[in-house]
Amino acid sequence: MNVLVIGKGGREHALVQKLSESPMVDELYAAPGNAGITEATCVDIVETDIDGLIALVHSKDIGMTIVGPEAPLELGIADRFHEAGLKVFAPTQKAALLEGSKSYAKAFMQRHEIPSAAYATFSDPEAAKDYIQAQGVPIVVKADGLAAGKGVVVAETTEEAIEAVDDMLVNKRFADAGATVVIEEFMEGKEFSLMAFVNGKDVYPMITARDHKRAYNQDKGPNTGGMGGYAPVPDVSAEDLTFSYEHILQKTADGLIAEGRSFTGVLYAGLMMTQEGPKVIEFNTRFGDPETQIILPLMKNDLLQVFEDVLAGKDPELEWEDQASVGVVLAANGYPEAYKKGMPIPQINGNVYTAYAGVAGTDEQLVANGGRVLLVGAKNDTAPEAAKTVYQALKQIDNNTDYFYRTDIGL
Ligand code: AMP
Ligand code: GLY
């Protein structure tokens, strides 16, 4: 079967790499892909060009399409594929609202008694500010819609919270995506990510992962798209995990069916382990980045068979290696603020895997083309041992001042 992966980041490279191991896959395509994705034929069609993607699927006789990023989901790519009679592993536009609107997701969780932070929704800035004054800090201000991971402000002071409200509601920083804000109770605890393959009521969880979103060591510095992480997460108890499967993932799948938004695809829950047990920070309706790059190397199954089984209503019988995986992101110096592009990508050798993200150029000479350039990962019996392998390999580029990486991931 010919298979298409839509997207251009490290997540999509990891999907392509895993799919390339499948004997069921004939030709593998990525659209638009990136210059580091050599296991697939990259076709220059952007993620949101749904007509172009459908034409590609017809012309290359593609039997299965996997959607990486959220933007095409919000545009209804799955609905368009279904109308055209094409197989796609992705949620419909209605189901993708769970990620596309935080106010919808919060109200949904309240209706279905899925544990999450207390909240209120505002489009009037003065009412939002009154609420902040009444609640006190710390408090969390979120743009309602998709904001490329930049729409969340965890405010330590009232001034910061009010500035976030002005930014979103008055200065329209995120345009329509920020025309409504969700203001949430601050939750304390350790975070973890839990993804599952879902088809209607059928939920098949993957192993847990932990993503490090802050730019610098000890989770300091500005928020980023993710600087690396590890899987599985050893500090989630079996009890918390079972609770998360039953009272978060399963309830969400069932609740979406009850609301006429039956979900097919990957459901991602960002969870906080609070004193009262796991609570939802956010839902995504797709594979996480960088969680996917870290988790898929531990999957024993044929990934195409997993997609086929889940779509056919069959248990894919997920199996995982009894190992840990650690991935560290190499970023352009300056990221997530201004950074340069065009620097050569260094060769990193060792017993590691590499997922390319912000790269361009040719097979012979890749160059940097984004903030997060690549992820270097390794597997071993424990996360600290895997991390040692990654950091040993990264030592090779320690005198390269074009890039930086965190030195504390998985240790
Ligand atoms: P999100 O984009 O919703 O994942 O939020 C980005 C980050 O903000 C999360 O990974 C958390 O670290 C933090 N965050 C979001 N909501 C809350 C909350 N209610 N309490 C504490 N931290 C939060
Ligand atoms: N790792 C967070 C995300 O994929 O949105």
Q: Any idea what the CATH number is for the domain that residue 286 is in?
A: 3.30.470.20
Mutate which of 70, 98, 139, 154 to test ligand 1's pocket (most atoms within 8 Å of Cβ)? 154
pLDDT string in tens for the chain (411-residue length): 999 999 999 999 999 999 999 999 999 999 999 999 999 999 999 999 999 999 999 999 999 999 999 999 999 999 999 999 999 999 999 999 999 999 999 999 999 999 999 999 999 999 999 999 999 999 999 998 888 777 889 999 999 999 999 999 888 888 887 789 999 999 999 999 999 999 999 999 999 999 999 999 999 998 888 999 999 999 999 999 999 999 999 999 999 999 999 999 999 999 999 999 999 999 999 999 999 999 999 999 999 999 999 999 999 999 999 999 999 999 999 999 999 999 999 999 999 999 999 999 987 899 999 999 999 999 999 999 999 999 999 999 988 999 999 999 999
Residue 67: CATH number of its domain: 3.40.50.20
Global pTM reads: 0.96
What was the pLDDT predicted at 225?
Answer: 86
User: Structurally, how many domains does the chain consist of?
Assistant: 4
Q: What residue ranges line ligand 1, CB within 6 angstroms?
A: 117, 140, 149, 152, 154, 184-187, 191, 213, 270, 281-282
What was the pLDDT predicted at 186?
Answer: 97
- Whether 112 is covered by a domain: the verdict is no
Binding site membership of 208 for ligand 2 (Cβ less than 6 Å): no
Burial 34-58 (b: 16+ CB within 10 A, else e): bbbbebbebbebebebbeebbebbe
Residue 365's identity, in one-letter code, is: Q
- Whose alpha carbon is nearest atom 4 of ligand 1? 282
Structural domain harbouring 65: 2-92
- Alpha carbons 189 and 273: distance in angstroms, whole number: 5
- Whether 364 is covered by a domain: the verdict is yes
Query: Which of ligand 1's atoms lies nearest the C-alpha of 270?
Result: 4
- Whether 97 is covered by a domain: the verdict is no
Binding site membership of 250 for ligand 2 (Cβ less than 6 Å): no
What spacing in Å lies between the alpha carbon of 154 and ligand 1's midpoint? 7
Instruction: Mark whether 160 and 59 lie in a shared domain.
Output: no
Domain boundary among 161, 185, 209: 185
Residue 151: CATH number of its domain: 3.30.1490.20
What was the pLDDT predicted at 39?
Answer: 98
Integer angstrom CA distances of residue 353 from 4, 345, 393 = 22, 15, 10
- Alpha carbons 389 and 353: distance in angstroms, whole number: 11
